[in-house]
Amino acid sequence: MTTLSIQQLANLEPRPPVVVVIDVLRAFTTAAVAFAGHADGIVLAASPDEALRIRDRLPGALAVKDGPPDPAFDAVNSPAEMDQLDVAGRTVVLATTNGTVGAVAADGAELLVCASFVVAGATAAYLARDGRPVTYVATGEDGRAEEDIACAEYLSALLDSPALLDGAEVDPAPYLRRARRSGLAERLTRGARDGYPGIHADDVYYCLAVDRYDFTMVATRTGPDLVLRPLR
């Protein structure tokens, strides 16, 4: 059985060789939806201002951020809204409060993976083939977000399954139940119901669609940018 290691960002020194940064609600679900829409790549930015600077030097790029719509940006960090955006062949520059900040902070790991429930099965299979110990970083609520911890534990359970590469049978329901009952899931649901801009009524549904996509999202340095790309 593997040892489950879930760390906070402040505890990532020295940098572990394999780091999986998790943001279920919503950054790394939004990113997966963009890749399903054939985005060319996703540049992970540490702040909205940095996202705009990166967008301005990448022809045709789209800048996406957390929070309500902003005329300076092209879209918001909503998986349901991303699904309606034409991103085929374009670069998305994503800046979020937790997920992209966590990925940028974890830069320097030999293997840096960004994950959520929608890519969990493919991610676990990729990590199993790599074979090295995995350190998970739950980014929400300073590492205490229940939905991110549940996703990390689900990934760990998949890695512990001897049948993983042949189609592991690990019931995701208990992990999804915890994510659905998390504080952020409740706030997003309430915000959508109250018409808060930047939240779509289907966002939580998108984020809990386990194994919707068959790729792993791996971040690597390309020049000055930390770029996320899907690997199948």
Map out the domains of the chain with their CATH numbers: 6-231 (3.90.1560.10)
Q: Could you tell me the pTM of the whole model? A: 0.94
pLDDT in tens, 85-130: 999 999 999 999 999 999 999 999 999 999 999 999 999 999 999 9
Tens of pLDDT, residue by residue over 40-62, are 999 999 999 999 999 999 999 99
Between CA 152 and CA 127 the distance in angstroms is 13
Cβ 173 vs Cβ 56: under 8 Å: no
Residue 216 main-chain phi, psi, to 5 deg: -105, 140
Residue 169 pLDDT grade (very low, low, confident, very high; cuts 50, 70, 90): confident
Determine if residue 193 is left, alpha or beta; phi over 0 gives left, psi from -120 to 50 gives alpha, anything else beta: alpha
